[in-house]
Every structure is written in C-alpha cells, then in structure tokens.
Amino acid sequence: TVTDPQKSNYHLEIVTENEEFALGLNYLMNLCGFKAGLSERKEYIIYLKEADAIGKFLTFIGAHSAFLAMEEVRIIKGMRNKVNRLVNCETANLEKSVRAALEQVKIITALKEKYGLNKLPDQLKDLAYLRLENPEVSLRELGELAIPPLSKSAVNHRMRKLLKIAETFLGSEGNKFSKMKL
C-alpha cells in the first residue's frame, strides 16, 4: 500500500506473513538501491519512506499510473510550498517597508513641528513633504512620485541624510531614527 501523499508523508508498505519472503524482498530492494526498511509486528513490513525511492520503485514494478498520480501530488504540493514561501517573504518585506515608512513620518513630523522643513536643502525638503503626503509607499514608489523621478538608491541616500539632520536637531529623539534600516 502507498499512503495518500495529500494527507501525510510519503510511505509505501509491502506486508507479508512469510519471514523468508520479507527478508528476501528487503534484500533485493536494497540491492536495487531502494533503501528499504523492514519491520516486524504481527506481520513483516517492508517499507520505503522517501518520495523519490517510492517513485522509482513504482516505476520499477510497472505501476506507472500510481507513479504519475503520486508525482502530480508532489508537484502540486511543491508549487503550494513555493507560493507560500514567496507570500511569506513578500509579507515580511512589506511589513518592514511599512514600519520604516511610519518611523520616517514620525521623525519628519517631529522635525517639522519643532524647526520647520523650510531650512532644509530643497532636495531633502521635497523628499520630506513627499513622504508626509505618501506615508504608505515604499522608497521605490516614493522615487517614482518625485519630480524628476529618483531611483530607490537616491531616495534611500536622501532619506538617510534627512534622518542624520533630524538626529542633529532633535538629539536623542532623532538618534533612534538615524539607526533604523531603510
């Protein structure tokens, strides 16, 4: 029997009451490179636990439709896992970007309220206002909104300059922001 790969891990068992047959089959399967295990309960169980080994064994004994059905499930499971990893990675990156943007808005707002933004160089002042108007966008998107458009690297560089100025003017309040990862 082969367990349903959709419900559990891959597992193939051949069950027999005949000890001599079990030992012989286990020997032959291992001789053919299948890495079979042997367990004895009420009966003898020759088993395979690795999906690749099960697939090769099914092909070896001519059970092609069983092999294809198992491979289809493996492919679907693999695709689901890949999509989940990508979604998790994208979610983590998005959360990081949102946290950084919110911290940028906080420090720019504090700088604006205490000292105003008009004394900043035009490039930094424009970026500060752009961030305040668009707190939800990424650095790349912020660069696309700039006139003229800026690369993500240029926005990052200017934002770091802006945060360094904020650290100077706001002291310890600005210090925590200059260390944040953008």
Looking at the structure of the chain, the number of domains it has is: 2
Residue 55 lies in a domain: yes
Residues 99 and 76 occupy one common structural domain:
no
Domain residues for the domain of 69 are 12-82
Residue 49 lies in a domain: yes
Residues 66 and 16 occupy one common structural domain:
yes
pLDDT tens digit sequence for 58-111: 999 999 999 998 889 889 988 999 999 999 999 999 899 999 999 999 999 999
Residues 77 and 101 occupy one common structural domain:
no
Residue 3 lies in a domain: no
Residue 113 lies in a domain: yes
First to last CA, the chain: 54
What pTM was estimated for this model as a whole? 0.58
Distances (CA, A) of 7 to 95, 124, 135, 153, 181: 33, 56, 44, 47, 42
Contact between 166 and 172 under an 8 Å Cβ cutoff? The reply is no
Residues 169 and 98 occupy one common structural domain:
yes
pLDDT band at 180 (very low <50, low <70, confident <90, very high): very low
Residue 4 lies in a domain: no
**What are the structure tokens assigned to 102, written together?**
């919110």
Q: What is the mean pLDDT of the chain?
A: 89
Residue 101 lies in a domain: yes
Q: Which of 82, 106, 121 is the last residue of a domain?
A: 82
Residues 138 and 171 occupy one common structural domain:
yes
Dist CA 12 CA 15 (whole Å): 10
| pLDDT score, position 9 | 80
Q: Nearest to residue 44, comparing CAs of 59, 61, 31, 27? A: 27
Residues 76 and 102 occupy one common structural domain:
no
Residues 75 and 104 occupy one common structural domain:
no
